[in-house]
Amino acid sequence: MKKILSLVLALCLALCMLSFVSAEEEVPTVKIITLGNGQPDNYEAWITKLNEYVVEKIGAKLEVECIGWGDWGSRRSVIINTNEAYDVIFGDSGNLRQDVAVGAYLDITDLLAENAPGLVDLIPGGYWDACRVNGRIYGVPTYKDSSITQYFVWDVEVLKELGLEEEAANCHTIEDATPILQKIRDATGEASFPVTKDGVSQIPFIFDAFGAGLRGIGVRYNDKDAKVVKIFEEEDIMEQLKEVRGWYESGIINADAANLAEGPTYKACFLAQGWSSAAKTVWGPNMGKELVAYTFGPTILSNDSVLGSVNFVSVNSKHPDKALAYLNLINTDSKVRDAFYYGLEGENFTYTENGRVHKNADKGWGLAGYTQATFFNVTPTDDVEFNQWDEVHELNDAAEPSVLLGFAFDSSKVDDQIANCKTIWDRYHPELLTGSVDPETAVAAMYAEMEAEGLSDIIAEAQAQIDAFLGK
């Protein structure tokens, strides 16, 4: 009898274990590919704890691959072009149209209401319009600082030592910055505005590139005629390029800029998109310095600003419903949003008694916060008395809308021309935007090559669609 009982118990235990394993196997995995400083050292502990909560919420667990800044472009291209398995991937304005053209992303238009109702309620309609191709939605914008405001960001200590505080406070253009940067360069003997191969990429930001994926053309955001132009031939842009050329020649910009994938952590001055209080909450802490920020140009709401940060669902996703459920969760649930933004609770950060976040200064977190989801459900930190996200909201509300806001360019007739011209742009822009070459010569050569690859066709097609959009 004892033997029979033992056998029965063993059988029950085996069945229970089998049932447990089966239940585990039934939980699907949503793989997310994103950007930052590479895979966090405490990734396993972080994802294990996060999944304990996420599985309860959406019936799926997460797997996250964080690619380093320097490897992002090439690694992402391989993923997209080889159909590597993933469910959600980060992208920007340079990815949407061309990746949709090769069939990389899922059309989520009809899936949103059922699988991500929180997203539909959270994100205004115009932001969704920026993510449309041929009238269909292919991406989820991260509805954050979705207007563009650029800032000169300065090391406060350097400004004080050299008596440049007032000059910096009144610096709002490339030309304004030159004498300040030269004084810092002369005093330190080092590049005062170090850049990578992306260069001073903020120069053309007042042009709406209407999601074409080609930085060389655009419409000036406040041009009521909405004329498509070659951006770098515009007089004001060329003057800025010449100024940057002077920066390079005088050592304000580092000599290796055009070939540099990742730059130094410390910069006496840099340009950044964001909000002024980010100098205290993000940029300063990341650099370990007290920083101050002053505006560079107007605040603009455009298709480009919306598409600066988007998450896409793979057309090959085995669980698109769960992928959208994850995007809905991270945009509406502060616990999940905080985990992605700050890291592992108890190690990277803790919650204070008054419900704020206290970051562990000795435990940095490598995932880029702007790639993940909205900022408006991120818990504020305890090192400042204000809620920085209030400023972001105010900037979004006060932004000047582009004349093309809501315009969705159908590139299908000129996809080949765009791809060829983008290849040319990718080859020229590191030297052009770092000041490493004479801009007049480089711009002329670049556009000549683009014309040979159908640039005029792209401009003509874009102009015809824009005119129709504006009712001309």
Mean pLDDT of 440-469: 97
Tokens 């997203």: give the residue: 119
Which has more pLDDT, 307 or 52?
A: 52
**Residue range(s) of every CATH 3.40.190.10 domain in the chain:** 26-144+309-332+334-376, 147-301+403-469
Per-residue model confidence as pLDDT tens digits over 378-418: 999 998 888 888 898 889 888 888 999 878 788 889 999 99
Calpha distance 90→312 (Å, rounded): 6
Per-residue model confidence as pLDDT tens digits over 8-27: 444 454 444 444 434 445 89
Q: What's the distance, CA 407 to chain centroid? A: 20
Superfamily name and number for 147-301+403-469 = Periplasmic binding protein-like II (3.40.190.10)
pLDDT above 60: residue 43: yes
Q: What is the pTM of this model?
A: 0.72
Calpha distance 243→174 (Å, rounded): 7
Which has more pLDDT, 60 or 213?
A: 60
Query: What pLDDT does 259 receive?
Result: 95
Calpha distance 433→418 (Å, rounded): 20
Percent of the residues in the chain that have a pLDDT greater than 70, as a whole number: 95
**Contact residues for 224 (Cβ-Cβ < 8 A; gap 6+):** 403
- Decide: helix, strand or coil at residue 311: strand
CATH code linked to domain 26-144+309-332+334-376: 3.40.190.10
**Contact residues for 13 (Cβ-Cβ < 8 A; gap 6+):** none
CA-angle at 88, arms to 263 and 119, nearest 5°: 105
Amino acid identity of residue 56, one-letter, is: E
Per-residue model confidence as pLDDT tens digits over 60-98: 999 999 999 989 999 999 999 999 999 999 998 778 878
Mean of pLDDT over the chain: 91
Phi/psi at 451 (5° precision): -60, -40
How many residues in the chain? 472
Query: What pLDDT does 190 receive?
Result: 96
Calpha distance 394→245 (Å, rounded): 35
Mean pLDDT of 340-368: 93
Query: What pLDDT does 25 receive?
Result: 55
Strands 136-137 and 132-133: antiparallel
Calpha distance 184→193 (Å, rounded): 9
Residue 244's pLDDT band, with cuts at 50, 70 and 90, is very high
Tokens 């992303």: give the residue: 105
DSSP state at residue 314: B
